[in-house]
Amino acid sequence: MRSVILMKSNDIVLRLESELKNANAFGKDFSKAPQRMLRSGIASTTRIAKAPQRMIRSGIAQTSHIARTFAKMLKAQDFGGLDDFFFAREQLIPGGKEYWFIDVVSTQGDKAQLVLTFGCSDAKATVNRHKTSGRDVAAVGWFYSNKKKVFLDKTVPLESSKGMLKTEAFTFSGKYPSYDLVVDKKTRLHFTKPRQGIVYEAHPCTAKDLGVGLLNMYLDAKGTIGGKAFKGVGYVQKVIVVAPFIPWNWMRVVFPDKSVLDVFVARLGVESVQYRVVSTAIYRLSSGKTYSLSGSRFRKLEGDRWLLEGDGFAAYLKTYAFKPFVLKGRGEFHYDEYLVECTDFVYKKKAMQGGIGMIEDAYGFMI
């Protein structure tokens, strides 16, 4: 959930109606469960999608205001402003979503990794059968430290104040660029500014009927996970968006030298009926020097293995832990997190091994 899908809502409706007519042909090369889900999801969301179009249009002014305010404080290099954005709760307009995402990855070769996701939308929904409404957030937290442990999977009240986000299950607090994540006595992490490289990226923008404010921070992380010493890097993100969830794959892998492979591909449809909406890919050195990659193609292989191919690069990855999400509301959406090890990455005839990170595999449709 890392790049933002920006499409006009009426285009989505037209595509959904077209795909619904062809739903009976979706069987080939597509598993039965997602096929049934996609048919029923398209049918239900097509019926209700036109009302959210009107609601989204009515919220353009407020969305634009959010983006302009965010852009202004970034231009001023106001790091306190970044904290204001990160720790604040927004009044969501129709179709709006607000969420935070934290992925902490070891650079010590031990595959340790912690993932925490929490957020809400303007409408009632369920996440893994837990109902969300009002100012509560759906929250899922899990880690791998020799074995998988889910420490949070439910709806919780979220307390927001200056420099702090707090629930009954965790606290994230601090001031740029130093933060602390505390889950319990055995899982505590301290984030700091890295010695070199890019520390944050922000993408405030609007696109026709849709808008987004996006902040990513790339920090060093040290502490304990599950009672075991941890040292690595943290990807800390907040997103405010007015856009539907459509299928995507996102991969972020960190190598022992702290270089990063980051790939995002979003699409609408499956197999022969497919529209590629967004495709971005980079390979970034720890110094911050960034190479743009093109032609990214994901393939899921047997045994939860993955092959990423593109123009002049390729990567082979193996899954070592897995956590599924099911979101239901105005549609149905499946979001699966795979913790992966990159056993081989080749770019410009140079090979690398030992990368650790995540692949997101998301499918369905939800407004």
Classify burial at 184, counting beta carbons within 10 Å of its beta carbon; exposed 0-12, middle 13-18, buried 19 or more. Answer: exposed
Bond preceding residue 177 cis, omega within 30 of 0? yes
Within a 10 A sphere around the Cβ of 297, how many other Cβ atoms?
14
How far CA 24 is from CA of 12, 17, 40, 45, 191, in Å, comes to 19, 13, 12, 17, 50
Which of 198, 220, 340, 343 minimizes the C-alpha distance to 282? 198
- Give per-residue burial for 260-282: e unless 16+ CB within 10 Å, then b: bbbbbbbbbbbeeeeeebebbbe
CA 215-220-226 angle, to 5 degrees, is: 105
Q: Where are the beta strands (DSSP E) in 295-330?
A: 297-301, 305-310, 313-329
pTM (two decimals):
0.79
Q: Would you write out the chain's pLDDT as a tens digit for each of its 367 residues? A: 443 333 344 444 454 444 444 434 433 443 454 455 555 555 554 554 444 455 444 444 554 555 554 454 444 344 457 899 999 998 888 888 899 999 999 999 999 999 999 999 888 888 998 888 778 999 999 999 999 999 999 999 999 999 999 999 999 999 999 999 999 999 999 999 999 999 999 876 543 345 677 899 999 999 999 999 999 999 999 998 887 888 899 999 999 999 999 999 988 765 556 666 788 999 999 999 999 999 999 999 999 999 999 999 999 999 999 999 998 988 999 999 999 999 999 998 899 999 999 999 999 988 8
Q: Give bridge partners of residue 345 from the DSSP assignment.
A: 315, 352
Q: How many helices (H) and strands (E) in the chain?
A: 4, 25
Element holding 34 (H helix, E strand)? helix 32-58
